[in-house]
Amino acid sequence: MVLFVALKSLSNLKEFNRKKFVPGIRNELTSDDQKRTMSSKEAYENGADFIVVGGPITQADNFKETILNYI
C-alpha cells in the first residue's frame, strides 16, 4: 500500500509504515499554479519515499540537469 501525502501532513506520518509519495515538489521559487510546495531535500528529510515533480521538469530547457537537481 502507498500513500499520496499532503505536504502539511508529511512530518506527522514519518513513522507510518507505508511508502509515501509527495507531490508539489519545487526546488526553486516559481510563480506557477502550485500553491503548497516543498523542496526535494525537505520532503526526504520529513519522511518522503518518493517525490512527484511535474512542471519544473516538463517545462525545463535541460531535462537531465533539472532532474539531477532533484535527486
- Per DSSP, 17 falls in state S
pLDDT band with cut points at 50, 70 and 90 for residue 4: confident
**38: domain range?**
2-70
pTM for this prediction: 0.70
Q: What is the pLDDT of residues 11-62, one digit of tens each?
A: 777 777 888 888 888 877 666 666 677 888 988 888 888 988 888 888 889 9
- Greatest alpha-carbon pair distance for the chain in Å reads 37
Count up the domains in the chain and report the number. Answer: 1
